[in-house]
Amino acid sequence: MYTPKMIRNARRFLNANGIASTDITDTELCERATKAGWTGWLATPAPLPPAATPAPLPPAATPAPLPPVQPVESDTAAALAALLATLTPATPTAPAIDENAIRAIVESMIEPVTTLEVLHETKTAATIKGAHKALPKIIKRLQAGYNVYTFGPAGAGKTTLASQAAQALQVPFHSTGALLQKYELTGYMNAGGEYVETSFYDAYKNGGVFLFDEIDASNPTAVIAFNQALANGEYTFPNGTVKQHDDFYCIAAANTNGNGATANYKRQALDGATLDRFSRIELDYDTKLELRLAEAEYARLGGDTSTGEAAEWVKLVQTARKDAKTAGIIVVISPRSSIRGAGLLAMGETKKEAMLECFGNGLSKDQISQLNLRGL
């Protein structure tokens, strides 16, 4: 069984010796490296030059006879043995690293960027570790009774934010993606006359945070039904009229601000009546959390974080993101590129291969050159 680190080192050994290492399985790669002289070390040595024939050694000199050993009294011998024991520590036995230990190592590398304590009038305080940086702002508006519309680029943490809001408010979390039909939101009566409910119905009736994700990619008919439920405090579902629960909180999420398509996101404009029901908050990337998650992924797949390779990769991705925006290049370079690319590096791929796989494929050579991807 070859570990990701051994596979990475085997690939580097083959590349250093000019031996092909692509289009083969990991097992074939390691077997090919073994035949070429690789021994599976954690650090693969460079190929050695032919060894020179050593010169013959002179005859060993006959050592002078040692003086006779004087007998040692038992008390003195015991004292010397005790002294030697203190000078020669026992070889420690390394504890086995189990799954829980590995999980603890990874979790320690993604320590919470923010810890938020949310107070309640009738509930105990809720503590959210690793809180999204926009969570305090969102919680204030939800507690005030406002519906919240969050928008931002892919990977900005919109779903995570809504889930953390439910934890902070101590209510269930419900969600749906883009809706094509009204019944996907409101539910329907089946052929047997039974009502088939939805996550929106559950949250509306029983309380909870409801996330309407990708609202700007949904059918306008479904969005209109959503508007009516938010506006009136009650809604007539197929099985009857339901009053909105006091602990119902609504968050909509989108890649656009609701006013139509952008260069990166082909979304439709939302009706003014829809947008008027929300407090709109723009989200951006949390670069500190992006680095920690990328380093954790690098470690999970066998990378040595002490080398700084994962951090260098994240810096490269974040710089490319800024350069793309400045140059007007239409490409999504989200934190997922940092996280996935760090994992590829841990597997033994080069930075160039990771760049192409994460965001470079589809760009022209001229566009890639504008991203100032130093170190590839």
DSSP string, 303-328: --GGG-HHHHHHHHHHHHHHHHHHHT
Local structure of residue 73 (DSSP, 8 states): -
| From the candidate CATH numbers 3.40.50.1100, 3.40.50.300, 3.90.550.10, 3.20.20.220, the one assigned to the domain spanning 115-282 | 3.40.50.300
| Residues 74-89, mean pLDDT to the nearest whole number | 58
Query: Exposed (0-12), middle (13-18) or buried (19+): which is 253, by Cβ within 10 Å?
Result: buried
What would the pLDDT profile of 225-234 be if each residue is shown by its tens digit? 999 999 889 9
pLDDT at 215 over 80: yes
pLDDT band at 46 (very low <50, low <70, confident <90, very high): very low
pLDDT value for 112: 43
| Residues 12-36, mean pLDDT to the nearest whole number | 79
pLDDT at 110 over 80: no
pLDDT at 56 over 70: no
pLDDT value for 105: 45
Is residue 143 within 8 Å of 250, Cβ to Cβ? no
Q: Picking from 24-33, 67-76, 330-339, which range would have the lowest pLDDT averaged per residue?
A: 67-76
| Residues 22-47, mean pLDDT to the nearest whole number | 69
Choose between 268 and 64: higher pLDDT: 268
Q: How many CA atoms lie within 13 A of 55 on its CB side?
A: 3
pLDDT band at 95 (very low <50, low <70, confident <90, very high): very low
pLDDT at 93 over 80: no
pLDDT value for 199: 96
What would the pLDDT profile of 338-371 be if each residue is shown by its tens digit? 999 999 999 999 999 999 999 999 899 899 989 8
Q: Picking from 91-95, 280-284, 329-333, which range would have the lowest pLDDT averaged per residue?
A: 91-95
> Where in the chain are all domains bearing CATH 3.40.50.300?
115-282
Query: Exposed (0-12), middle (13-18) or buried (19+): which is 20, by Cβ within 10 Å?
Result: exposed
pLDDT at 24 over 90: no
pLDDT value for 8: 79
Choose between 77 and 369: higher pLDDT: 369
> Which residue is associated with the tokens 């609504």?
250
Query: Exposed (0-12), middle (13-18) or buried (19+): which is 255, by Cβ within 10 Å?
Result: buried
| Residues 262-276, mean pLDDT to the nearest whole number | 82
| Residues 163-172, mean pLDDT to the nearest whole number | 94
| Residues 84-93, mean pLDDT to the nearest whole number | 52
What would the pLDDT profile of 306-326 be if each residue is shown by its tens digit? 899 999 999 999 999 999 989
pLDDT value for 10: 79
177-208 burial by CB neighbour count: b if 16+ within 10 A, else e?
ebbeebebbbbbeeeeeeeebbbbbbbbbebb
Query: To the nearest whole number, what is the mean pLDDT of the chain?
Result: 81
pLDDT value for 59: 60
pLDDT at 288 over 80: yes
What would the pLDDT profile of 220-261 be if each residue is shown by its tens digit? 888 999 999 998 899 999 999 999 999 999 999 998 888 887
pLDDT band at 94 (very low <50, low <70, confident <90, very high): very low
pLDDT at 53 over 80: no
pLDDT band at 305 (very low <50, low <70, confident <90, very high): confident
Q: Picking from 59-73, 87-101, 137-151, 174-188, which range would have the lowest pLDDT averaged per residue?
A: 87-101
pLDDT band at 131 (very low <50, low <70, confident <90, very high): confident
